[in-house]
A and B are shown apart, each in its own frame.
Chain A
Amino acid sequence: MKFTLKIWRQKDAASKGAFETYKVENISADTSFLEMLDILNNNLVHEGKEPVAFDHDCREGICGMCSLHIDGQAHGPSQGATTCQIYMRKFEDGATITIEPWRSAAFPVIKDLVVNRSAYDQILQAGGFISVRTNSVPDANAIPIPKADADESMDAAACIGCGACAATCKNGSAMLFVAARVSSLAKLPQGRVEAARRAKAMVAKMDELGFGNCTNTGACQAECPKSISIAHIARLNREFLSAKLED
């Protein structure tokens, strides 16, 4: 297969970026999207040009490092998959593919397709943890947890913090990320203890960092590589509002 790639190139955060067009040929249909970019970069290095910078790590959909807005969609055309889980068979032979970095004021571009997502780390540091002593692993049945609660908590915990939600949201809102973290802890007994403080602290940090307001479009859950539901946003709203009303 062969493709024309329109890729956002930007020297650094202070520079003005622009799209550059590249051609790649002899790409197997079973090549992953990131491998295709590796091939492109290999070609660029051989030509003495600067390779395209992009984030990646585990390449199996669990680390949350890969990003990329591909043909108008965060993580490309597949639903419930990260960029590293997309294969070139998803694209038509000869297609022109536009690749952009996450666009959100809270995620400034560092270089080319790499953005600074440390804002999510800062939100986590504000309250996305439990501070009670849990000691060693307790007996499995020591604390009974309803199966439905455990399932909901695990669904929310599937969030890999990739930033696709804020990158997709027309408002640049990080609500799905914050909601997933608040929800996964609030549904379990040990996390429940600090649920009110956590919701308030994480929302305050989210606002402080300049993320936008959720308008319930649902675009985040449509593009989330872990298909996290906006029902967790409803839970965050409940947790936050009830905590505020108790102040």
Chain B
Amino acid sequence: MSCFLTKSSLGKKLVMSITGAFLVLFILFHMSMNLTAIISPDGYNAICRFLGANWYALAGTAVLALGVLVHFLYALMLTVDNYRARGKQRYAVTVTEPGVSWASKNMLVIGFIVLAGLLLHLFNFWAKMQLVEVLGGHASVVGGHTVAATDGAALIAYTFSKWYYVALYLLWFAALWFHLTHGVWSMFQTVGWANDTWYPRLKCIANVVATLVFLGFAAVVAVYFMKSCCSCCA
């Protein structure tokens, strides 16, 4: 089985599909959690306290990191295979075939943007929350202020008061949108749960999931940026 998952083209694709499905589910959970920050910063911080340096949160983080790592490494492996398969001599003239999405042909490049956004996000939040607690601390200094490791709402407020973080995060969410529009329906195709009747439905579901994820994450950024711009909103 291990041989099949590392050597066969369809086995490698299965790994991409399963890790992708896991990451999509996590993203939906994360987005739902973030929306709490709009409704109630205290409620959001309660979730942050729950997901601190507890064993279950650490185990979840480890599994999540493994999921991202495997998804990324397999993407690289598959792309190297595909590059070799295409051959050294490329077409002088190419066109975009009808019905072929831009995202489907650029998943690795989009994936790199998503990964870069993830690293920025880890620096902005995870390094000042769970990592601080793991290292035995309780607070970190952010923008000249001491912020408790469980005060996620304060970190959101600080981060999205900076226009450049707002721009970078929106770019990240846009890349994620493109990645999901292809990735979500593609994972069903890879495990064989698709047919001509279901393609329009699966692609619709993919677009809905991608758009919900974009809007859900972007709403938090937008609301906190507005709050920082307009004192009457705060």
Contact B104 A240 (CB under 8 A): no
Q: How far is the CB of B28 from chain A (nearest CB, A)?
A: 21
- Total inter-chain residue pairs, C-beta < 8 Å: 143
Interchain CA distance A233-B9 in the complex, whole Å? 13
Interface pair A72/B95, CB less than 8 Å apart? yes
Q: How many of B's residues come within 8 Å of A, CB to CB?
A: 45
Q: Which residues of A contact B (CB under 8 A)?
A: 6, 17, 19, 69, 71-73, 79, 98, 100, 103-106, 109, 168, 170-173, 203-204, 206-207, 210-219, 221-223, 229-231, 233-241, 244, 247
A223 to B110, CA, bound (A): 25
Residue in chain B with minimal CB distance to A105: B87
**Could you say which of B94, B104, B190, B192 contacts A72, with CB atoms under 8 Å apart?**
B94
23 contacts between A and B (CB under 8 A): A72-B91, A103-B89, A103-B90, A168-B97, A171-B81, A210-B85, A213-B82, A214-B13, A215-B82, A215-B104, A215-B186, A216-B182, A216-B190, A217-B97, A217-B104, A218-B100, A219-B105, A234-B192, A237-B192, A244-B4, A244-B10, A247-B1, A247-B4
Bound together, the chains give a CA A229 to CA B194 distance in angstroms of 11
**Top 10 closest pairs, chain A to chain B, by CB:** A238-B192, A212-B85, A172-B85, A171-B82, A105-B87, A222-B97, A237-B192, A72-B93, A72-B95, A212-B82
Given contacts A222-B98, A231-B196, A241-B191, contact A170 B105 (CB under 8 A): yes
Which of B84, B89, B101: most chain A Cβ within 10 A?
Answer: B89
Given contact pairs A203-B9, A216-B104, A233-B189, a sample of 10 additional A-B residue pairs in the complex whose CB atoms are under 8 Å apart: A72-B94, A104-B86, A105-B85, A105-B88, A109-B89, A203-B10, A212-B82, A212-B86, A231-B196, A244-B4
Say yes or no: B86 contacts A171, CB within 8 Å. yes
